[in-house]
Amino acid sequence: MSTRVFFFVVTLLSATLIGTVTAGYFIWQARDGQVDIGGPFTLTDQTGRTVTEDAFEGTWQVVFFGYTFCPDICPTDLATMSAALDDLGPLADEVSPIFISIDPERDTVEQLASYHEYFHPRFSMLTGTPEQIGAVAREFRVYYAKVESDAASDYLMDHSSITYVLDPAGDYVTHFSHGTPAEKIAETLRGLIAG
Ligand SMILES: [Cu+2]
What is the residue-wise DSSP string for 93-137?
Answer: GGEEEEEEES-TTT--HHHHHHHHTTS-TT-EEEE--HHHHHHHH
Residue 7, pLDDT > 90, answer: no
Q: What pLDDT, on a 0 to 100 scale, did the predictor assign at position 14?
A: 54
What's the CATH number for 37-194? 3.40.30.10
Q: For 106-160, what is each residue's pLDDT tens digit? A: 999 999 999 999 999 999 999 999 999 999 999 999 999 999 877 666 899 999 9
Ligand 1 geometric centre to CA of 161 (Å): 7
- CA distance linking residue 96 with residue 189, whole number of Å: 11
Q: What pLDDT, on a 0 to 100 scale, did the predictor assign at position 154?
A: 82
Q: CA nearest 123: which of 48, 178, 50, 63?
A: 63
Ligand 1 geometric centre to CA of 72 (Å): 6
Ligand 1 geometric centre to CA of 103 (Å): 10
Average pLDDT over residues 48-55: 98
Instruction: Please give the share of the chain, as a percent, with pLDDT higher than 90.
Output: 77
Task: Tell me phi and psi for residue 73, to 5 degrees.
Answer: -55, -55
Return residues with CB closer than 5 A to ligand 1 (ion).
Answer: 66, 70, 73-74
Ligand 1 geometric centre to CA of 157 (Å): 7
Residue 33, pLDDT > 60, answer: no
Average pLDDT over residues 28-54: 84
Q: What pLDDT, on a 0 to 100 scale, did the predictor assign at position 12?
A: 46
Ligand 1 geometric centre to CA of 158 (Å): 7
Q: What pLDDT, on a 0 to 100 scale, did the predictor assign at position 186?
A: 98
Domains of the chain by residue range? 1-35, 37-194
